[in-house]
Amino acid sequence: MNSAVNDDDELLEPDAAEVDEDVPQPIRIRIRRKLPGRRLDKYLHGRFPRLSRTMIQKLIKSGDITVNDRPTKPSYEMEAGDRVDLLIPPPEPYELIPENIPLDIIYEDDYVLAINKPIGIICHPARATQSGTIANALAYYARSLSTGSDAFRPGIVHRLDKNTSGVMIVAKTDEAHWRLSRQFEQRTTRKIYLGVVHGNLELDADEISVPIAAHPSVHDRYVVSGVAARLGGRFQRNLGKEAVTRYEVVERYGAFCLVRLFPKTGRTHQLRVHMSHIGHPMVGDPFYGGSHVSLSAVTGRPEDSAEPIMTRQALHAWKLIVVHPIRETPLELSAEPPADMRRLIELLRQHRRAR
């Protein structure tokens, strides 16, 4: 367990010689100062990231987490002098099962490797029974991967959405992992995406700087913070997280545009949410206001096929530029879009020429 002391609290643990990892561990935290606006469940999730917020809420409701020896609620806001007692369950036994899933390797050395992530596959398991992920494929392919902070995601430094393709960099050593992670945290990496969006953008280039928050009622959905506040929830105080995206129009097709997207921050679903917010959602992304596009929709001819050209969002992580974590030299990685997105772009170009 983390025994660091910070400005907010003092963590008191049992004698290390007495700790048995196979049984629940009693932990005590003394709160040094009032934490206005900080819910108990969110605070504890930050202190013990191995435990999900859902698990922490269950522990509070079952009485395994108390404040000043009394039962409490997940929404309790801590006061100076509070004593929080936790009975932490032992970690679930877990082993990532290697799976022979083909990987498109675009770069590899002794410290890192980079892949062109295919569509339709998630980056790592969310639970011990889940398989068929990039992490399972990496466990089969690589002789060594960084341990990171989570057994579910060895080697994985950053993620892409399930139906977003493109460049992902993976760490093979722990030193490479923390050095790469620091670059992402300090926003010194350069990420360039390609996307096809609905509508004809008014400007050739612009920057979108709008905070993003989790949707108050729809799981795994995100909205700009102003919308979140109108929908309800606790966003009057929590205005979301800073999110900044720059875009450039590459080609115009009348009712569609091919754009380059440069995320300066790395929020979940950031590009999809931001483009939807300005009225130009990603093609093939009904979750955020886009729609699937058929050949008939591209040509305007009713007799053409009504089958979708793409069945996922038209978004691809095209380039990633980092400093090599060990050699300290620039490392530029790139991957061409998959066949479905290339076909969509070519059809849009052909139709524009025909018109």
Q: What is the 3-state secondary structure (H, E, C) of the chain?
A: CCCCCCCCEEEECCCHHHCCCCCCEEEEEEECCCCCCCEHHHHHHHHCCCCCHHHHHHHHHCCCEEECCECCCCCCECCCCCEEEEEECCCCCCCCCCCCCCCCEEEECCCEEEEEECCCCCCCCCCCCCCCCHHHHHHHHCCCCCCCCCCCCCCECCCCCCCCEEEEEEECCHHHHHHHHHHHHCCCCEEEEEEEEECCCCCCEEEEECCEEECCCCCCCEEEHHHHHHHCCCCCCCCCECCEEEEEEEEECCCEEEEEEEECCCCCCHHHHHHHHCCCCECCCHHHCCCCCEHHHHHCCCCCCCCECCCCCCEEEEEEEEECCCCCCEEEEECCCCHHHHHHHHHHHHHHHHC
The token pair at 127 is: 């639970």
The reply to whether 161 belongs to the active site is: yes
Rounded Cα–Cα distance for residues 87 and 65 (Å) = 6
- The one catalytic residue in 161, 204, 220, 304 is 161
Active site residues: 161
